[in-house]
Amino acid sequence: MKRTNSIATRTGDDGTTGLLYGQRIPKDHPQAETVGALDELNAALGLAKAHCPAADRRAELERIQTDLVALMGEMACAESDAARYAESKFAKVDEAALARLDAGVAAIEARSPKFDGWATPGANPHAAALDVARTAARRAERRMVTLRTHGRTVRPMLLQYVNRVSDLLWLMAREAEGA
C-alpha cells in the first residue's frame, strides 16, 4: 500500500530513477552514477564536518555541501532540459564558488603544511574523514567526465569545481594530520 507522504514512492522498484523534470532513466545510467557519486561526496563531507573541531572549517565544509546540492541539481536534469535548468531559479555553482575554493587552497598552502609524497590517511578521525571525502570527490569527477563521453553537457567550470574540492580536501587532511 502506497502512502502519500512516504519516502518510499516505489517508482524506482523497476530499476529506474527520476531526473529533475520527471524523465526516468535506469539506475545504472551514467547520469544516475554521477548524481550518486556527488551525493556520496556530500555525505562524506558531512562526516568530515562532524569530526571537525574548528567552527570556521565546519562552515567551509558546509558551504561546499551547499554548492554540491546545486551541482547535483544541474547534473540531475536531462540534456534536453539543460537550458530550462540554466534559466531556472535553482542555485547554481558559479565562478565565485570556484574562487572560494581557490582562496581556501591558497590559504592552507600559505601555512606550508607538512607532507611527504603520498598520504597515508588515518592520523586522526577528522583527517581520515577528509581523505574519504577527497577520494569521493575524485570519483565524482571521474563520473562527470564519463557523463560527458555519453553525450551530456557538463559545464567545464563544474569539473574545475569538483577537481578543486578534492585539492582543498587533500590540503585540509594534511593540515588536520598536524593538528
pLDDT value of residue 104: 97
pLDDT value of residue 21: 87
Assigned C-alpha cell, 147: 557523463
- The angle formed by the CA atoms of residues 91, 94 and 99, to the nearest 5 degrees, is 135
Helix (H) or strand (E) holding 17: strand 16-18
Domains annotated for the chain, with CATH where assigned, are: 23-111+118-177 (1.20.1200.10)
Tens of each residue's pLDDT in the chain, 179 residues: 555 677 777 767 778 788 888 888 878 899 999 999 999 999 999 999 999 999 999 999 999 999 999 999 999 999 899 899 999 999 999 999 999 999 999 999 999 877 777 778 888 999 999 999 999 999 999 999 999 998 899 999 999 999 999 999 999 999 999 86
- The angle formed by the CA atoms of residues 111, 163 and 45, to the nearest 5 degrees, is 75
Assigned C-alpha cell, 175: 593540515
Assigned C-alpha cell, 74: 544541474
